[in-house]
Chains A and B, each alone.
Chain A
Amino acid sequence: MSMVKLVNVRKSFGNLEVLKGINLEIQSGEVVCIIGASGSGKSTMLRCLNHLERISTGEVYIQGELTDKREKNKDLMKIDPAKVQALCAELGMVFQNFNLFPHLTVIQNITVAPTIVKKVNKDVIEKTALVLLESVGLSEKRDEYPSRLSGGQQQRVAIARALAMEPKIMMFDEPTSALDPELVGEVLATMRHLAEEGMTMIIVTHEIGFAREVADRVIFMDEGVICEQGTPDEVLLNPKEERTKIFLNKIL
């Protein structure tokens, strides 16, 4: 089943065209890693999927349903905003800088969205939250404020927070880039665990080793286009495109 699909998506900021015609379809249960140089449009592509950014041209589908269809920054058809919001909520997102809510405790960070967006009963969601905290190994931190946690712990809370909305797809935008090297492992372990459970995942990362290990597909982006894609072995070990080779040589 198709989880997300981009059809000829273009995105410009003013005169700067950041995405130059992206076509991409991701199937249920797939783990896709996206690599590419800084400024190649990786984050922008993720953000276009959940409407944090509106595309300039093209079509976006979530679970086969149209969520965005535009031409020259104008909507080509009116799509029910409630439906769009519900579909976008199927996408969980984890950010490079965690973006935990500093004024809420760990458990409140996890429960706030389900209670106000989905109107889940407070007792029910607290139980779920505790299970999630357990699964990311942070049960004892439930009443701490984020400022008291290490970066790795904050990122694991952020993952639990996204999972509490029961997303069908998890997007990670460089989830370990802001972490000290010794904290990277614990976050990757959490993500590996999710992948093993069959979660559909889209991961922007510079951790090539991790990509080789968990990805079903690796996508190399360059200057706003998908330059090359394939299995980890194809893209990471035997890249066909010259630009992929140059990029891999630089970061390995």
Chain B
Amino acid sequence: MYLYEPRSNYFYDEGKINVLNETQLWAILEGTIVTLEIALVAIVVGAVFGVIVALGRISKNKVANALSWFYIWFFRGTPLLLQLFIIYYAIPIIYLEATGTSFQVDAMFCAFIAFSLNSTAYLAEIIRAAIESIDSGQMEAAKALGMSYRQAMTRIIIPQTFKRLVAPMGNELILLLKDTSLVSTIALFDLLRTVKTMASASGSWIYYIYAAAIYLFLTTIIQVVFDKMEKKLGVYER
């Protein structure tokens, strides 16, 4: 279960405010996992669907083009928090009004959906720009060799975007990681909300430092891993 259940007496640990007790440690760990899970699901799902939306944007098919334009327009043009509310609060109500039956929403599931939909829009634009940055001679050479548009895209064009995508993807993942704090509004305990609860209960600011340290630790790892990936994917560029 993702729903965080406050454990007995975890706020008051008199005299030893600065040192985390075991319960607090677990709570922070769980919050960190919630944060990480949402960001990672969103970046992976966003990358996969982002390719599809990006291909729609550059396609000559008017319907595909309009649909993906609309998708990006909506999900980039409205706050992520609003999207989260629509999925978590509005849809169950709409469903109830339409069918007369209610259903149980899982907050974590809603967070996955909202963050994935949102990152799809951003990544689609990043991927589209990367595809368009590949020299048009590549598509021509592929076509002259008899490849179909689809074969040329999947075997020639898109693989060449990987290296160019790494840096903006890392950036997007870091943004997502920090944006996960929005899920505190839908009854989830992410890292930030967990420490905030501890801080206000104990009156100590030190918990914010712990949180900052964890965020920095995670974003540093992301940076290092993505830098390595960029180097590795760029081997062919001498």
What residues make up the interface of A, taking CB atoms closer than 8 Å to B?
Answer: 50-52, 85, 88-89, 91-93, 95, 97, 99-104, 112-113, 116-118, 145-148, 158, 161-162, 165
Contact = CB atoms under 8 A, between A and B. Distances in A.
A148 B135 CA distance: 19
B147 A95 contact: no
Contact of A113 (B137, B147, B236, B238): B147
A165 B141 contact: no
Interface residues of B, number: 21
A145 B236 contact: yes
A112 B238 CA distance: 21
Given A97-B137, A112-B155, A116-B151, A103 B146 contact: no
Interface of B: 135, 137-138, 140-148, 151, 155-156, 159-160, 235-238
Contacts of B146: 85, 88-89, 113, 117-118, 165
A102 B237 contact: yes
Contacts of B143: 50-52
Given A103-B160, A147-B236, A147-B238, A116 B147 contact: yes
Q: Is the interface of B mostly helix, strand, loop or mixed?
A: helix
Contacts of B237: 102, 145, 147
A100 B135 CA distance: 11
Contact of A99 (B137, B147, B148, B151): B137
Contacts of A145: 235-238
Most chain A CB neighbours (cut-off 10 Å) among B138, B140, B159, B160: B140
Contacts of A112: 145, 155-156
Contacts of A99: 135, 137-138, 140-141
Contacts of A51: 143
A242 B181 CA distance: 77
Contacts of B160: 101-103
A103 B135 CA distance: 13
Given A102-B160, A145-B236, 7 more contacts: A50-B143, A52-B144, A99-B140, A112-B145, A117-B145, A118-B146, A147-B237
Contacts of B159: 103
A95 to B, nearest CB: 6
17 contacts: A50-B144, A52-B140, A85-B148, A99-B135, A99-B137, A100-B141, A102-B236, A103-B159, A103-B236, A113-B146, A117-B145, A117-B146, A117-B151, A145-B238, A148-B238, A162-B145, A165-B145
A116 B148 CA distance: 10
A146 B218 CA distance: 37
A162 B145 CA distance: 7
Among A89, A92, A102, A146, the one with the most B-chain Cβ atoms within 10 Å of its Cβ is A102
State the 9 A-B residue pairs at the shortest beta-carbon distance, nearest first.
A89-B146, A99-B141, A113-B145, A93-B144, A145-B236, A99-B137, A147-B238, A117-B146, A103-B160
B145 A95 contact: no
Contacts of B140: 52, 95, 99
B141 A101 contact: yes
Nearest to A90: B146
B14 to A, nearest CB: 62
A137 B142 CA distance: 24
Contacts of A104: 236
Which of B147, B148, B151, B236 has its CB near the most chain A CB atoms (within 10 A)? B236
Contacts of A148: 238
A102 B137 CA distance: 12
Contacts of B141: 93, 95, 99-101, 158
Contacts of B142: 101, 113
A42 to B, nearest CB: 16
B117 to A, nearest CB: 31
B146 to A, nearest CB: 4
Nearest to A145: B236
